[in-house]
Amino acid sequence: MTIMDRLYKESIAKGPICVGLDTTLKFLPQYLISKDWSDGEKITEFNKKIIDATEDLAATYKVQIACYEALGLDGLSAYSATVKYARNKGKIVIGDVKRGDISSTGDQYAKGHFSGDFEVDIMTVNAYMGEDAVSPYYPYLRDHSKGLFVLQRTSNPSAVDVQNLKVGDQSVYQIMGDNIEKWGKDFMGESGFSAIGAVVGLTRPEEFEAIQDQCPHTFFLVPGYGAQGGTGEDIAEILKRSRCAVVNSSRGLITGHQKAGCEDEGFADYVRKATLAMKEDILQWL
Amino acid sequence: MTIMDRLYKESIAKGPICVGLDTTLKFLPQYLISKDWSDGEKITEFNKKIIDATEDLAATYKVQIACYEALGLDGLSAYSATVKYARNKGKIVIGDVKRGDISSTGDQYAKGHFSGDFEVDIMTVNAYMGEDAVSPYYPYLRDHSKGLFVLQRTSNPSAVDVQNLKVGDQSVYQIMGDNIEKWGKDFMGESGFSAIGAVVGLTRPEEFEAIQDQCPHTFFLVPGYGAQGGTGEDIAEILKRSRCAVVNSSRGLITGHQKAGCEDEGFADYVRKATLAMKEDILQWL
């Protein structure tokens, strides 16, 4: 069973929910801010409580490493503690690291994020440098049940600067989709999806359906729910055709307590409620 | 004076040499390997000795963060110590991090690499996500004299998977070049170059000359010398037209002692010799 098989199964069993731990200090409740701990320790505690409160609802957790790098070594200690905590609970963890480098340098990133302090199950990858930025991970996909999500079509406005450029009658993101299907052929799982998935945003549902048709063996990580405009109904339309995706929400979930004005130890109950609401918002249409 | 002005001046004064600290344990001399230190401490000592031995020859140092991430928190402590050491000596340091993310996530990377433990002067950026992956750094270019090198045309074989795709009569990497020129307009320095440079490999000198003509305000970071096939004469041909680049070599320099069979404290003399040989190999044609 590949990691993408496991993720597929989790997305069926628990719902297609990816809880995004893009944790910054401004999201922390007051009782944590006032502790006599390092910033990294406060963030770790915040994340652990969220994982405890949502583990039965989340198919996976995505941890955005940029938020941790911003705090230097202390922040990366929190990243390490967070991914370890979730993985020790048997959860699938996606390192949203968007790394992209080649040959011996790519090997170093593979080692860094698929073993040791920062080990995750799946990492996000940027393939502007082509297959050379993806192939360093192949031994880990083959021998250590790891997976990738390669950036294909992102939901930000200027994604069109590169991704929507027209090459003949195809867009760059469609060519990237063909490549992801091709690269994944050697890493197929029993679910029908390969261990090389893709990141595709949800800003244009009709675009997503075309990508889905073009890439039938690709499992998708979908940002864009909530804060970025995608609705539960949009997602359900896609999942009705194939259960080929998990949907990420970060701020929309992990600031649930702030919207409710809760600054004490009960904060994670509100994150749970927000996660449950997201799940129901999607599943009601399925 | 922008950071790219400083780099331009240094490349004239010292030669267009970028010493790449892609340091892994296998490059360390035996006397360091056998010390009772952490791997990160050994690597830090190796890097410091190389910086001491080459600071009058190097226009800049490029530190490849992948090699440090591979060793987890201990490795990133070495990254932090290395970039601090070189910057405290007044050297320009390029963080070869190839980050690329948008809006609030991009802000976190900017904070992480332009302040605090990992602060560098210039960072490499991947703009597959378009200008949104570059604009989070603009405040740092404007207010803190920082700079970027955006991936444009890399020298690895599969770069063609994306970068050489034809959009009308232009390649994706040419469109990226136009974008880099456009994005840099607000960050022009007195040298005629903007604070947003580009990474362009040296595998095809005629391709480089066309890029140079197309992007007259762009300063280039050029990998591909030595190990990757570019010659001093190739580089000199480019620099004769405009002193618009620094050239990186990593393994070719920082393994100078291994080629000479030196495993003791004198190792950095051989790294210096290799750096001097690279400088002479380029300058003899200028």
Q: Lowest mean pLDDT: which of A105-114, A133-142, A232-241? A: A232-241
d(CA A192, CA B76): 38
**What residues of chain A, 253 to 282, have a C-beta less than 8 Å from chain B?**
none
Considering only CB atoms, which chain B residues are within 8 Å of A101? Answer: 66, 98
pLDDT-based confidence at residue B228 (cuts at 50, 70, 90): low
Considering only CB atoms, which chain B residues are within 8 Å of A66? Answer: 99, 101, 105-106, 108-109, 112
CB distance A178 to A198 below 8 Å:
no
What is the average pLDDT across B186-192? 97
Phi, psi of A82 (to 5 degrees): -70, -50
B67 touches chain A (CB under 8 A): yes
pLDDT of A203 above 90: no
Name the amino acid, one letter, at B207: E
CB distance A97 to A123 below 8 Å:
yes
Q: What is the mean pLDDT of chain A?
A: 96
pLDDT in tens, B34-63: 999 999 999 999 999 999 999 999 999 999
Q: Lowest mean pLDDT: which of A180-194, A213-227, B35-49? A: A213-227
**What residues of chain A, 15 to 54, have a C-beta less than 8 Å from chain B?**
22, 24
Pairing of strands B92-99, A220-222: unpaired
Quote the strand ranges of chain A, DSSP E. 17-21, 60-64, 93-99, 122-125, 147-153, 166-167, 170-171, 196-200, 220-222, 245-249
Residue contact B163–A130, C-beta within 8 A = yes
pLDDT score, position B86: 99
Burial class (CB in 10 A: 0-12, 13-18, 19+), B88: exposed
CATH topology for the B3-283 domain: TIM Barrel (3.20.20)
CB distance A167 to A173 below 8 Å:
no
Tokens of A31: 């009782």
- Torsional sign, CA B46, B51, B53, B58: positive
A9 touches chain B (CB under 8 A): no
Tell me, what's the ipTM? 0.97
- Torsional sign, CA B106, B110, B116, B117: positive
Residue contact A176–B162, C-beta within 8 A = yes
Tokens of A146: 């790891």
Distance from CA of B68 to the nearest CA of A (A): 8
CA B138 to chain centre: 19
Is A35 a residue of the active site? no
Q: How far, CA to CA in Å, does B263 sit from each of A264, B33, B118, B273?
A: 58, 10, 30, 15
